[in-house]
Chains A and B, each alone.
Chain A
Amino acid sequence: MNKFLTKPMTALLLSMLLSPLALPAQTQQPKKIVTRIEILEIDQRVQLPDVFADYTERVAQEIHNAATETDALRLLSKYRMKLSKNNADMSRTPKRWVNEIRTFYKQSDVYIEYAVIDREYTIEWKNGRTTYKLVAEINRENIEGRDKAEAEKHLFQTLNNLPQSNYVVPLPKKVNLTSHENGLLVNPGVNYVLASMDGSTFYKETSTPDGLEAVFSKDYPTESLKNLMMGVVRNNKYTLHLAWPVYGGELRTMDISLKSFVDFWRVMADYNVFCGVSAADTEYSVVFIIMHKVLQYANVCVMTFKTEDFDNGEAVLNATFTTNIPQHNINDIYN
C-alpha cells in the first residue's frame, strides 16, 4: 500500500519542510504543545481497526483539550458518541470520563471488548469490577477528519500517482470452484443487493500446468467483464478514462490503467468489490461497486465496454466514477 502513497507523501513532506520558510519571521507564532492522549494500550489497539483506534484517541484528545465540559459536550454531540461507566451515562461529563479512563486503561488487569453493531462500534474497558464504555457512530467524515470534498481531492491525488500494477492474482484451487454455465467453473463471491452484483470470478480448464485459466473472451462477455474488474485477467492493456463528478459540480477527468485501478482496491484490503454487467446491443455497462469494509462508504464506477474491445485487447474505456458515498446513514434506497 505504501508504494502507492510515495509521491503524495513526498510532496507533503516537502511542503511541510518548505512552508515555514515562506512565512515572514514576524508572523511565526510559538506552537502550543499538546500532550498526546492515549486511552488504548498497544495490545488493546490491535483488537480493533487502526482507523477506529486513532479516531477514538483523537476525540479523547479533543475532549481533553476542550476548555469546559460544555465545549466537550458539543464535541461529543458532533461526533455522536456516548460514554458511560458501569452502565451509568457519562455523556454529560465527557472531560471527566476521559480523565478517568486515562488512568484506568493502564491498569494491568484491564482488558477491552470491541464490537461493531449495525452502524456503531463500541469499546469497553473492563477489569471485572468497573466497565467504561464508548459508543461511536461509524461515520467516514468524522473518523477520517475529511469532508466529502477533501476526501475526493485526497483520492484523486492518490489514484493520479498510482504506479503501473504488476500484481498477479493467484489462480484458485480447483477444489474450491463450482460448475457454472457453458462448462465454466466459478469461484463464487459475495453479492451486494442483487444476485448478479457480486465478486465471482470464472475459469475454464486447460492443459497448462495450472490446469486453469481466467476467462476473457467475447464468447463469455458477462463472465469475462467480471473477471476483468476483479483483477484476474492478466496482461490486459486497457485504459480507464474516468469522468469524475466531484463536490461543487466540477467534473474531473483522469486516464488510468484499468489493471492498476482494480488492483488498487484489492491491494488495499479495506474494500469489498462487486461487479455486475448489463448488456445492450453491441456494448455492455459494467457496474463496479467498491465498498469500504470498515468505514461504510462506497465508490461506484460505471464503465462502457464494446464487443470489439474484446478483440483489440487494449482500448480506452469510458467510465463515470462517483466516490465517497456514505452508506452508514442509508435506510432504504432500493425499494
Chain B
Amino acid sequence: MKKNFFWAVVFIMLPFMSFASNGQDGEGEIRFTIKDGAIDNVLRTNIETNLNALFEAFENSLLSEDFKLILPKKGLTSDAKVQIREMWDSSPFACVLDVVETNLIKTSNGNYEVRNIPVTMMSEEADELHRDQMLLVQFDAKGQVENLTIAMNAMTYRSILANASEVELAQRQTIVNFIENFRTAYNRRDLKYLTQVYSDNALIITGRKITPSKSYNAELQKASIGNRYEYVKQTKQEYIDKLARIFKTSKYLNVDFDKITVKQHPKKPTMYGVTLNQYWKNGNYHDEGVLFLVIDFFDEKNPLIQVRTWQSFDDVEENGVFSFEKIKI
C-alpha cells in the first residue's frame, strides 16, 4: 500500500521532475545557482556543486528499485549524511523545479544557509497540508552540507476581512501604528525601544550592499557581477550590537518605509506578516529593499517582532518576497 502510494506520487510528479544525467557522461545537470550573497566565488562554486550533487542523489534514489539513497562521497559532513538518511527514510521528497536560483545567507557563526527550496514529500503519511514543504540546507564555512531541514508547510493566505468588523479595522491601524513606532525608533537611534520589540529568539536576516574590493582582479570583478548583496543571519544581540555601532558612528541616519502590506497568519491569529519597502541612509551609505516582519500581538500592549528579513529589490523580483510560506514559525 505504502509503495503503491509512493509510486502514484512519483508518477504524478514525473512531468515536473528534472532528472540528472546517469553520471557516466561526467557532470550531472546543474539545478542550483547562487545568485546573491556569496562574495567568494570559490565558496559559491563549492556550494552549488555540493547542492547539485546532493539533489542528483535524491533523484537517482527515486528512480532506483529499492529507493536506496547513495549520497555523494564528498561535500557533506558525516553528521549530515546520518541526518539526511534518517530524513529520507522517513519521507523521500522531490524538488519540482528544473532550475533554482537562490541566495546564500551567512549565519552568525560564519556558516551559510540556502532557504526555500520547494519540495513535495512522497510519504503516504504526508497529508494535503504537509505535502508541499520548503527545505533549508545549511553549509559549513567551506561549503560542505552540514544539515538539511524542513522550513515550514506551504500555506495559502485567505482574506480575513471578508467579514471584517469595525474592531478588526481598528486593529489593522494599530499594526501600522506599531510599524511607525518601530521606524521612528531607528531615526531616534532608540536602542532601548528596539531591544524591547525584538523577541529574544527573533530570526533576523540583514542584507548589505557589497562594493567589490579594489584588490580584486578584473576577472574576479567580472565574475562577481550579480553578487551585490551579502545576507547575514544574526541573533538579536548581534543585530542590536551592530545597530549600536551604526547609531554611534553615523552622523546622519534616515530610515523610511513605504508600501506597507499587512496580512494575518492563516493559523495563528495573533501573528501578522508585514511587508514594506525600506529606504535606509546613513552617512554616504544607502540601500533600498524589502523588509518582511512577523509581529506577534499575543500581548497587545507589548508586541514582539519574531522575524525580520531584508531582501534587495532585485532579489524580490527574481525570487519573490519572504512571506509566511517561506519562514518557519
Contacts and interface: CB of A to CB of B under 8 A. Distances in A.
Given A247-B181, A326-B180, A335-B159, A287 B166 contact: yes
Interface in B223-249: none
A148 B180 CA distance: 8
Contacts of A149: 184, 188
Contacts of B176: 325-327, 330, 333
Interface stretch (A85-93, A191-199, A205-213): A191-199
B67 interface: no
A325 B173 contact: yes
A101 interface: no
Interface stretch (B71-79, B82-90, B200-208, B256-264): B256-264
A224 B155 CA distance: 43
A248 B175 contact: no
A109 interface: no
A325 B169 contact: no
A19 B151 CA distance: 60
A194 B196 contact: no
Contact of A247 (B166, B184, B259, B276): B184
B180 A330 contact: no
B322 to A, nearest CB: 16
Contacts of B165: 278
A278 B167 contact: yes
Interface residues of B, number: 36
B170 A329 contact: no
Most chain B beta carbons < 10 A, residue from A149, A285, A326, A335:
A335
B169 A193 contact: yes
Contacts of A194: 164, 166, 169
A267 B56 CA distance: 71
A300 B170 contact: yes
B187 interface: yes
A10 B252 CA distance: 34
Most chain A beta carbons < 10 A, residue from B180, B188, B190:
B180
B5 interface: no
Contacts of A325: 173, 176-177, 180
A333 B301 contact: no
A147 interface: yes
B199 interface: no
Most chain A beta carbons < 10 A, residue from B190, B256, B261, B276:
B256
Nearest to A248: B193
A322 B177 contact: yes
Contact of B302 (A248, A249, A326): A249
Contacts of A285: 166-167
B209 interface: no
B302 A276 contact: no
A323 B176 CA distance: 11
Interface in A207-262: 245, 247-249, 251
A324 B177 CA distance: 8
Interface in A310-335: 322-327, 329-335
Given A325-B173, A329-B259, A335-B263, 19 more contacts: A147-B184, A147-B188, A148-B181, A194-B164, A247-B184, A251-B301, A276-B166, A276-B169, A285-B166, A287-B170, A289-B170, A298-B173, A302-B170, A325-B177, A325-B180, A329-B258, A330-B260, A332-B261, A333-B261
6 contacts: A78-B254, A194-B166, A249-B196, A331-B276, A333-B172, A333-B261
Interface of A: 74, 77-78, 80, 147-149, 193-194, 196-197, 245, 247-249, 251, 276-278, 285, 287, 289, 298, 300, 302, 322-327, 329-335
Closest 4 A-B residue pairs measured CB to CB?
Answer: A276-B166, A333-B262, A287-B166, A331-B259
